[in-house]
A = this chain, B = another copy of it.
Amino acid sequence: MQVAVIGLGSMGMGAALNLVKAEGLSVAGVDLRDAARAEFAAAGGLPAASGAELPPGAEAVLVLVVNAVQAREALFGPLGAAPRLAPGAVLIVSSTMSPAEARALAAEAEARQFLYLDAPVSGGAAGARAGALTVMASGSAAAKAKAAPVLDAIAKKVWDLGEAPGLGATMKVVHQLLAGVHIAAAAEAMALGIKAGLDPETLYGVVTGAAGNSWMFENRMRHVLNGDETPRSAVDIFVKDLGLVTELARAEGFPALLAAQAQQLFTAASAMGHGGKDDGFVIRAYQALTGIRLPKD
């Protein structure tokens, strides 16, 4: 089975390398960047600089670019992959986007007789490298069946959310509500603790051993305490993803009070010049408001 991966970033590269290792798949990878293509080729994959350069006949294409605009361009743009795909191929679109965008892309795919799987992922770059992503999938039974060999190679768990495209995107957006609010709450608590005279490492120890813990507090406040601003996921990702949350909420007539507040905090941190840093450094917004000193500053 011929498979293509579009977008060899931290998520896409991890997924692509696991597909290369899987039996029975011939895997091409698309990325604009020379370095990404070279890494992929060295691992045994077939590199391409655009969808138009793909060998013909792929039956499945996994899209792991940043957003819906890039996904549409990569599939249906002038240099997109669509003309190179086998008739009836499945488009597995894992970029985070709004449910409305997912439904629009699915309609465009169906108009061209392709199968479409709305399939956002969770697990980060580490999960992608380990072949242990969580996939939140919605689409037709035919799309799910055709996508199965690809998902088997990259995921530890595939959730079947139903037939309708958009349900996968909805689940991912609701998940990002929690992820974003938890990061902002972690920053708020850590900053208040520092302001009130607590030792930051002790605060980290108490919280991570108690009922106030979250996956994000444990993971991201470790980066903040270490002064490690390297972005596993960046502040600007949550400006975008919490934007998708408030967009979904507006469409549904739902007041997402905490998500909206968190979005403003990420927006502030980004406006201060921290958009490319690890998202835990949304704490810089609280620092600007209160003058606290972070441990490694």
Contact = CB atoms under 8 A, between A and B. Distances in A.
B193 A188 contact: no
A119 to B, nearest CB: 13
Nearest to A233: B211
B192 A185 contact: no
Nearest to A178: B212
Given A214-B215, A254-B289, 12 more contacts: A134-B209, A167-B198, A177-B185, A177-B189, A178-B213, A179-B212, A181-B185, A182-B185, A210-B215, A213-B214, A257-B264, A258-B261
Interface in A258-296: 258-259, 261-262, 264-265, 286, 289-290
Given A191-B254, A196-B252, A206-B175, A214 B170 contact: no
Nearest to A245: B192
A211 B219 contact: yes
Given A134-B206, A206-B175, A256-B188, A99 B212 contact: no
Between A134, A214, A259, A265, the greatest number of chain B beta carbons within 10 A of the residue's beta carbon is seen for A214
A174 B192 contact: yes
B188 A99 contact: no
Contact of A182 (B197, B198, B202, B212): B212
A62 to B, nearest CB: 19
A203 B161 CA distance: 9
A196 to B, nearest CB: 5
A177 B184 CA distance: 12
Contact of A181 (B136, B205, B258, B264): B258
A99 B196 contact: yes
Interface residues of A, number: 67
A140 interface: no
B186 A178 contact: yes
A157 interface: yes
- The 9 tightest CB contacts between A and B, nearest first, are A178-B212, A214-B214, A122-B210, A181-B185, A175-B212, A174-B193, A179-B212, A170-B196, A211-B215
Contacts of A176: 212
Interface in A132-181: 134, 136, 157, 159, 161-162, 167, 170-171, 174-179, 181
Interface string A230-272: 0000000000000001001100111111110110110000000
